[in-house]
Structure 1
Amino acid sequence: MKLKVYADRMSQPARAVILFLKLNGINYEEVRVDIAKRQHLTPEYAEINPMKLLPAIVDGRFKLFESHAILIYLACSFPGVADHWYPADVFKRSKIHSVLD
């Protein structure tokens, strides 16, 4: 099953996730959620992201929201993502967390 990314490109965090996916050659399907039309506030979208914010992803049965959590998940879960995005070294990884948080 293809990774689904729920996004509106007006959202900077959504653009960051999409850019990461493209830079790392990760295959995905973009599902547009129009913020201007308040589609992120629908009960259907709340089943994907109870916080009703963008972006969110669905990978099989796994659902995840919050762009930083999504970026970490993508860096750790997909083969071929370069180590510099989310290094195995705990000290380097901590520096990344300080920027993300």
Structure 2
Amino acid sequence: MITFYHNSRCSKSREALKLLEEKGETIEIVKYLQKPLTHAELKQIIELLGIEPINLVRTQEKDWKVNYSGQNLSDSQIIDAMIEHPRMMERPIAVKGTKAVIGRPPEKVLDIL
């Protein structure tokens, strides 16, 4: 099963979801804007991605620019910022077992199959 962190308003997220559906995968869709992730959930996703928390931040988002840009934040504070403002999180993210990918470009989600 693939856990798919989805923003239905994002065209890249919709494209990535369609690619996985076309492959016949069982998908659990998590609408993280409606039900924000916990600190532990987001930390685990970041670990599976093998990246630093800042690399999951959409630094061009208004919430980042207004509230956090230029500050020296710890990894924990960056995770908390993404929980408080989930639109700042890169999307989509697909997780299968111990593998995770950011679907940028959307075809990247196929790497977890």
Q: TM-score, normalised by structure 2?
A: 0.50
| Aligned counterparts, 1:47-62, within 5 A | 47-49=44-46, 50=53, 51=56, 52-62=89-99
Q: Cα deviation per residue 1:28-48 (whole Å; 9 max; x = unaligned)? A: 1111111xx6947x6443542
List gaps (5 residues or longer) in structure 2. 47-52, 57-88
* Cα 1:77–1:6 shift into 2, 3 Å: closer
AA in 2 matched with 1:48: I
Task: Give 2:101's aligned amino acid.
Answer: L
Cα deviation, residue 5, structure 1: 0.6
Which residue does 2:16 correspond to in 1? Answer: 17
**Which of the numbers 42, 45, 50 marks the counterpart of 2:42?**
45
Tell which has more relative contact order, 1 or 2 (C-alpha 8 A, sep 6+).
2
* Cα distance in 1 between the residues matched to 2:98 and 2:8: 24
Q: Which consecutive unaligned segments of at least 5 residues does structure 1 have?
A: 79-101
Q: Is the 8 A contact 1:20 1:71 kept in 2?
A: yes
Return the offset for 1:24.
2.4
Divergent runs of 4+, >6 A:
none
Go from structure 1 to structure 2 and tell me whether the alpha carbon gap of 1:9 and 1:3 turns closer, same or farther (over 3 Å shift). same
AA partner of residue 16 (structure 1): E
Deviations along 1:8-55, one digit per CA (max 9) or x if unpaired, are: 101111101111112222221111111xx6947x64435424312111
1:42-97 deviation per Cα after TM superposition (whole angstroms, max 9, x unaligned):
644354243121111111011211432x62451x554xxxxxxxxxxxxxxxxxxx
Q: Give the alignment's Cα RMSD to 1 decimal.
A: 2.6
**Equivalenced residues, count:** 72
